[in-house]
């Protein structure tokens, strides 16, 4: 009983450990092309180099402190996972994150209008709004209102998608009188 809970408690220590590794690797990967040797002043690498060094030192202290805490009973690691006041549906949260990432990817492929309509509808269904009399108007009116406000009024060039979707977006924009 005690063993797994100790392990769980130290999951947050993975963060400084990861940051330490990152801070040690990144200085070598700062530039993707050769730098000329003679620069005036400190050069472009000085500031990020110094900050990565600071990050490495601070994360190392953190890891050391947490390992020290591990050996002493009654000591706690620096970070403790938050306790929610209400039950937290982890699966639902992860699915939500996936939906958001997919939405971001779809934006450039099928365009803002289609992707947003799909996303709004999907999120509502997933979040418990399933009555079609609510869902359909919210999705359609919402999307058209957003299009009209941001592409029509604010003249933002939101992504129209690629290939056939570009054609569809142009048709939609002409239909709604924005183009």
| Whole-angstrom distance, CA of residue 154 vs CA of residue 142 | 16
Site membership for other proteins, residue 75 (CB under 8 A): no
Angle at which helix 14-25 crosses helix 46-71, to 10 degrees, equals: 150
* Radius of gyration of the chain from its Cα atoms, rounded to whole angstroms: 25
Site membership for other proteins, residue 70 (CB under 8 A): no
Site membership for other proteins, residue 12 (CB under 8 A): yes
> CB of 64 within 8 A of CB of 58?
no
Q: Classify residue 128 as left (phi > 0), alpha (psi -120 to 50) or beta.
A: left
Site membership for other proteins, residue 41 (CB under 8 A): yes
Q: Which of residues 119-178 bind other proteins (CB under 8 A)?
A: 119-120, 123-124, 126-129, 134, 138, 142, 146, 150, 153-159, 166, 170, 173-174
Site membership for other proteins, residue 67 (CB under 8 A): no
> Can you tell me whether residue 9 is helix, strand or coil?
helix
Site membership for other proteins, residue 68 (CB under 8 A): no
Q: Which of residues 86-125 bind other proteins (CB under 8 A)?
A: 86-90, 92-93, 96-97, 100-101, 103-104, 107-108, 116, 119-120, 123-124
- Choice between 4 and 87, CB closer to other proteins: 87
| Whole-angstrom distance, CA of residue 27 vs CA of residue 48 | 8
From candidates 17, 24, 58, 70, binder to other proteins by CB under 8 A: 58
């Amino acid at each position: 009983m005690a063993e797994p809970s100790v392990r769980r408690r130290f999951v947050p220590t993975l963060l400084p450990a990861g940051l330490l590794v990152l801070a040690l690797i990144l200085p070598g990967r700062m530039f993707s092309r050769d730098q000329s040797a003679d620069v005036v002043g400190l050069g472009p690498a000085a500031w990020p180099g110094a900050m990565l060094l600071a990050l490495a030192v601070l994360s190392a202290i953190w890891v050391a402190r947490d390992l020290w805490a591990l050996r002493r009973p009654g000591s706690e690691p620096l970070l403790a996972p938050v306790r929610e006041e209400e039950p937290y549906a982890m699966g639902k949260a992860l699915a939500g994150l996936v939906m958001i990432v997919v939405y971001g990817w779809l934006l450039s492929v099928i365009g803002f209008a289609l992707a947003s309509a799909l996303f709004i509808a999907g999120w509502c269904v997933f979040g418990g709004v399933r009555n079609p009399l609510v869902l359909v108007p919210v999705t359609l009116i919402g999307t058209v209102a957003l299009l009209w406000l941001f592409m029509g009024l604010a003249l933002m060039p939101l992504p129209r998608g690629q290939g056939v979707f570009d054609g569809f977006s142009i048709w939609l924009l002409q239909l709604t009188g924005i183009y």
